Structure 1
Amino acid sequence: MEMFWFIPTHGDGKYLGTTKGARAVDFPYMKQIAQAADQLGYSGVLLPTGKSCEDAWVTASALISSTNKLKFLVALRPGLMSPTLAARMASTFDRISGGRLLINIVTGGDPVELAGEGVFLDHDARYELTDEFLHIWRKTLLHEEVTFEGKHLQVHGASNLYPTIQTPYPPLYFGGSSSAGQQVAAEHVDVYLTWGEPPQQVKEKIEHVRQLAGQQGRTLRFGIRLHVIVRETNEEAWDAANQLIQYVDDSTIAAARKVFARYDSEGQRRMAQLHHSSRESLEISPNLWAGIGLVRGGAGTALVGDPETVATRIKEYAELGIETFILSGYPHLEEAYRTAELLFPLLPIRQPQQHENAQHPSSPLGEIIANDRPPSHAAIRSTKEVTSDAKNTARQHA
């Protein structure tokens, strides 16, 4: 299995729902988290996306030179940019980083936020757009000249001049719990992600998506997004979980519930069903705690317990087919260390490695001709031949 961590570009602190114990997530702090994850042996980091976050692409790009092996799982949001621009951004990032880009396809789940971004499509139409977007994006990065006329997107003669280091392109990650989303996953992506639902629900989801992919003649890998609260004893871990939400009052929960109610995301609906906006019965499965989801959108569950217990729960998910675990904890810098120190020795962790093609040239040899094609290869001539030609030219002009 491989372990990822999280860059909290939308805020961090010791407690949820309050400014008490909060800290500024500025670039030096994000750099500390990224470097810690890189040194501790995490394979990569997820950067969230949305209006509440610092831009994922700009942030990840700024962190490239501060890290060595760490991969960056960065969001592409169909509808907010063209697929050909997104392909160029991906190939540039992948080359500059030495093959350390992963793509997280985010179709969006808050119609109010999407309207503010200029996207007015309903739920299923957004997934139609995502399907067309990925069709163009993938073919472009396969060095095909693409002409496509769809319901939502059109391109004529689209192409990408610069190859990515990773082949055929940086891996595509995607999380979608609806039927429309799962169909997109089956046709296009490499890694299907789920939020931290109870194991039986995760099992059913994996089996269904695996079947859909099989109908397309494809196989997928699977990942899960979870928080983790691990301490030396179970008692300490559960105390830490309760302390995390000690300042979350009923009015804060009600305000969050009002926002979540407008979402048309099936995944968010499933998260909300786990806790029903109530503090009662937050342990929804052995050591799986839904307290974070009371006020946090997206991933709202945490594995809670001592190292042996949490490692056992992780292995249970792995037995279902989960290979990638995208973890986080509050505050993210300290918890990156605690999680690695307590959990990693108990798990079969895949050690991150620098990409074998990381020395791929980051730019073409010579200037692009007419902004459209790389320069052609010329026969290599010796210095003696060049000097002789120069002398002959000089005699002709004499």
Structure 2
Amino acid sequence: MPVEFLGAGYGNPSTETVPLTGPVFDPGYTREIVRAHEQHGWDHVLFPYASDGPDPAQAAAWAAAGSERIALRVAHRPNVSAPTFAAKTFATLHETSGGRVTAHLIAGGVAADQRAEGDDLDKDARYDRLEEYARLLLRAWTEERPFSHAGRYYRVDDFVLRARASGHRPGLSAGGASRRALEVGAAVADVFALFGEPLAATAAQVDLLRGLAAALGRPTPRLQIAFRPIVAATDDEAWAKAHAIKARIDERAAAAGPVASLASAPAVPGRLPENTANLRLAELAAAGERHDRALWTPTVAGAGGLPTSATALVGSYRTVADALLDYVDLGFEIFGLRGYDLLEDAVEFGDHVTPLVRAGVAARAAHDSGRAAQPGGARTTLAG
């Protein structure tokens, strides 16, 4: 089973610890960080979506022109364009980039950011719309004859996309933590992304997703999980780094500066998070700081008090690699990772951690092949 790493194709270097000092979209920075990921062993970069940010598809097109092989994960919200138009956008980008595009559909987890662009559907309705949208994308990318569709959210009459990408179609990914999110992912996604939780809770989510996909007669989507790695040469150095990062997050939160983006607007004190992923992470943080081999929760509450939808993995290069391999054993193939100093952390992680994870996956595969080759030996496969 291959393992892949998804990093941040962001438009500026700001994070919970690094304030925004320049433009929200700096084309030079975008190209620099994408090239850094490509040169240091990463497989994908994500271009995020926010109502007040750049168009992810155009940012990805700009980055594609300055890179050679790295795959482009392009976030997109169904409320912002007709599915037929989005199908053209992604097919065109897929063709011009040499087949490197996966569209990542986002139902939307922050109501204020949805309303900023005129979307007032509740969360379950947003997932219903996302499923219908995804099915229309897939039809547009694969059907050679005109087709029609009359659904709850979209109507299409005799549409055909003649400018389909040659070769394979763009990929399609989705994510979330609610049952409805998993139902939609099981129905339409090539990749389904979960947020980093302890192994036992994650295994339960994976089992649910597998069951939902099997009931539909579909293979389980490829599994992805997100973390904020904090690594160093030794465990002690990594923990010192982690506590310094948490202090910086708290310092920025206490300063109560202006919110840079509607997508990262602070939570209202005493109000539960709006989406299931953030609610699960808030409950996890309340249950304790450390879990399993390296999972650390205090960074879940980002600047302004809003959960960041990603827990940290803290430790030496080897400790964090082993922690990721624990998730490989659950069936995960893709790790969505970003640090707190985006460029520097991408280089360090790519140089020191990803080779250890890849070596661990290769060793597991060799061990399984060896067992299968023994007389009477039963092959033991990784989940997935």
State the TM-score bracket (shorter-chain normalisation). 0.7 to 0.9
Q: Distance in 1 between matches of 2:160 and 2:130?
A: 19
Aligned with 1:301 (options 311, 316, 332): 311
State the 1:292 CA deviation: 2.6
Residue 310 of structure 1 corresponds to which residue in structure 2?
A: 320
State the 1:18 CA deviation: 6.0
Structure 1 residues 206 and 10: alpha-carbon distance in aligned structure 2, compared to 1, 3 A threshold: farther
Matched, 1:335 2:345: yes
Matched, 1:110 2:110: yes
Residue 292 of structure 1 corresponds to which residue in structure 2?
A: 299
State the 1:319 CA deviation: 0.2
Residue 281 of structure 2 corresponds to which residue in structure 1?
A: 271
Higher-Rg structure is 1
AA at the equivalent of 2:165: T
Q: What's the C-alpha RMSD, in Å, of the aligned pairs?
A: 2.5
Q: Distance in 2 between matches of 1:286 and 1:67?
A: 35
3-state SS, counterpart of residue 79 of structure 1: helix
State the 1:307 CA deviation: 1.2
Q: Which moved more, 1:203-212 or 1:44-53?
A: 44-53
Q: Is the CA contact (8 Å cut-off) linking 1:287 and 1:304 kept in structure 2? A: yes
Residue 133 of structure 2 corresponds to which residue in structure 1?
A: 133
Residue 157 of structure 2 corresponds to which residue in structure 1?
A: 156
3-state SS, counterpart of residue 30 of structure 1: helix
Structure 1 residues 2 and 271: alpha-carbon distance in aligned structure 2, compared to 1, 3 A threshold: same
3-state SS, counterpart of residue 313 of structure 1: helix
1:355-370 correspondence to structure 2 within 5 Å:
none
Q: Distance in 1 between matches of 2:205 and 2:253?
A: 31
Q: TM-score, normalised by structure 2?
A: 0.83
Residue 257 of structure 1 corresponds to which residue in structure 2?
A: 267
Structure 1 residues 251 and 262: alpha-carbon distance in aligned structure 2, compared to 1, 3 A threshold: farther
3-state SS, counterpart of residue 320 of structure 1: coil
Q: Distance in 1 between matches of 2:32 and 2:311?
A: 25
3-state SS, counterpart of residue 92 of structure 2: helix
Runs of at least 5 residues in structure 1 that lack an aligned partner in the other structure: 352-398
Q: Distance in 1 between matches of 2:348 and 2:333?
A: 21
Residue 376 of structure 2 corresponds to which residue in structure 1?
A: none
1:1-398 correspondence to structure 2 within 5 Å:
1-9=3-11, 11-12=13-14, 16-17=16-17, 19=19, 26-51=26-51, 53-143=53-143, 144-167=145-168, 169-219=169-219, 220-249=221-250, 252=253, 256-258=266-268, 261=271, 263-276=273-286, 281-295=288-302, 297-348=307-358
Q: Which moved more, 1:170-179 or 1:22-31?
A: 22-31
Number of equivalent positions: 344
3-state SS, counterpart of residue 45 of structure 2: strand
Identity of aligned residues (%): 27
Q: Is the CA contact (8 Å cut-off) linking 2:88 and 2:164 kept in structure 1? A: no
State the 1:166 CA deviation: 4.7
Q: Is the CA contact (8 Å cut-off) linking 1:136 and 1:146 kept in structure 2? A: no
Q: Distance in 1 between matches of 2:210 and 2:237?
A: 38
Runs of at least 5 residues in structure 2 that lack an aligned partner in the other structure: 257-264, 363-384
Q: Distance in 1 between matches of 2:326 and 2:270?
A: 30
Structure 1 residues 172 and 333: alpha-carbon distance in aligned structure 2, compared to 1, 3 A threshold: same
Q: Distance in 2 between matches of 1:299 and 1:333?
A: 20
